[in-house]
Amino acid sequence: MELSTQTIKQRFGIIGNDHLLDRAIEKAVRVSPTDISVLVTGESGVGKESFPKIIHQLSHRKHNKYIAVNCGAIPEGTIDSELFGHEKGAFTGAANSRKGYFEVADGGTIFLDEVGELPITTQVRLLRVLENGEFIKVGSSEVHKTNVRIVAATNLDMESAIHKGKFREDLFYRLSTVEIKVPPLRNRKDDIHLLFRKFASDFAKKYNMPTVRLDNNAQKLLTLYPWNGNVRQLRNVAEQLSVLEEKRDISVSLLKSYLPDFNSTLPAIINKQKDSSDFSNEREILYKILFDMKKDLNDLKKITEHLNNSEKNVDYQKEDLSNLEKLYEINSDSKTKTTELIEVDKKNKKFEESNSFEDKYHFAEEINEEETLSIHDKELELIIKALERNKGKRKAAAEELGISERTLYRKIKQHDIEL
């Protein structure tokens, strides 16, 4: 008889009513009677370790061994020996032969936690076990057979690990015949206070003290906090409050003091220190030139559109012509401007589609070749305007331009600007 999701939760101590959590439990129940390999994915602290236990306890292997192995906690030099065993004298310190987990758990289930941390050489050995149930002990040439069901778990982005060559793609597909995704706590907002109350009650019994309770504002904060450490972090906070606080009613200000980096979860303006190198300063002024150029191109587009659609309005046309002359001192022929507008649209679109600094730099070079407006001229214009606005004060002008005073001095010399 198939057990209900609620029964499974009670049996394995899983708390929560989120539909994503329920879906993960349902998948674990459905796959448990088979021998299919399962990969449990999710962030650190979400409770991935509960799902291999569900799969094992509801399978025909439940009366045999269940071994959980934290792959990230075993040194690379001994992981093969731990998993597959070794022969006497296989390496320094191997005074006796030893059985590995795959031999000990024959007929049962092995849970490989943090499987993404396995070395590549160990991944090759594990792939052989998954393909035909065979393994070789360290220091031996004899092939051994095992009949184990493997359930793995990881908090890594496996596609990224495969792309970087840190995890074998064929092993990934062998392990993830069925993938169970455990949702992070921040996506289970309705479960957060429920979990806190359960943890607070458990710790009250454990330490023989009244249960801590959150006021309404503290409950709201509990729900809004991102919980990067997930259920494990929430449990730790509940335990700290239960042990350290004399008051049993927890206010929002008190709860904040137990939430690390609370202020860093909000948007903040970061004042980054500028690089002192000439290249950095050159890049900053080039960015300023490019974005000013983009603004001017947009202004040109708007003015030309007005000119093209309002020939009968003499006053309006004169105003637009005046603005246009101020920008680039271009010809007042509206047909010519319409042609220019088409080119402007193309350049503007190309600029907006440029994703990297190098693309924008190359685009600026193209503008140098095709337009009379060059980066050199624009840079000179910006520097002169900044100096005029600041009455020749180099320090103030440099701050306005976003470059160092030393770089501005060099630019003044380069362009032979008279102060």
pLDDT digits (tens, 9 = 90+) for 103-140: 999 999 999 999 999 999 999 999 999 999 999 999 99
Dist. CA 365–CA 363, nearest whole Å: 5
**pLDDT tier at 309 (50, 70, 90 boundaries)?**
low
Contact 118, 105 (CB under 8 A): no
Tell me what the mean pLDDT of segment 175-198 comes to: 95
Confidence of residue 339 (pLDDT cuts 50, 70, 90): low
User: What is the DSSP pairing of strand 109-113 with strand 66-70?
Assistant: parallel
Position 400 confidence tier, pLDDT thresholds 50, 70, 90: confident
pTM, entire model: 0.61
416 against 11, higher pLDDT: 11
Model confidence band, residue 359 (pLDDT cutoffs 50, 70, 90) = low
Cα 70 from Cα 130, distance rounded (Å): 18
Please state, rounded to an integer, the average pLDDT across all residues of the chain. 81
Instruction: Give the residue, 278 or 18, on which the prediction is more confident.
Output: 18
Tokens of 45: 């602290």
d(CA 225, CA 232): 14
The DSSP element (H or E) to which 110 belongs, if any, is strand 109-113
Strand partners, 145: 134
pLDDT at 54 over 80: yes
**What gap in Å lies between CA 197 and CA 223, rounded to an integer?**
13
Percent of all residues in the chain with a pLDDT value above 70, rounded to a whole number: 72
Confidence of residue 276 (pLDDT cuts 50, 70, 90): very low
Residue 193 to residue 182: CA distance in whole angstroms: 19
The pLDDT of residue 160 is 93
Q: State yes or no: pLDDT of 167 exceeds 80.
A: yes
DSSP string for 238-260: HHHHHHH-S-SEEPHHHHHTTST
How much is the pLDDT for 369? 52
Domains of the chain (ranges, CATH numbers): 5-183 (3.40.50.300), 186-265 (1.10.8.60), 278-415 (no CATH)
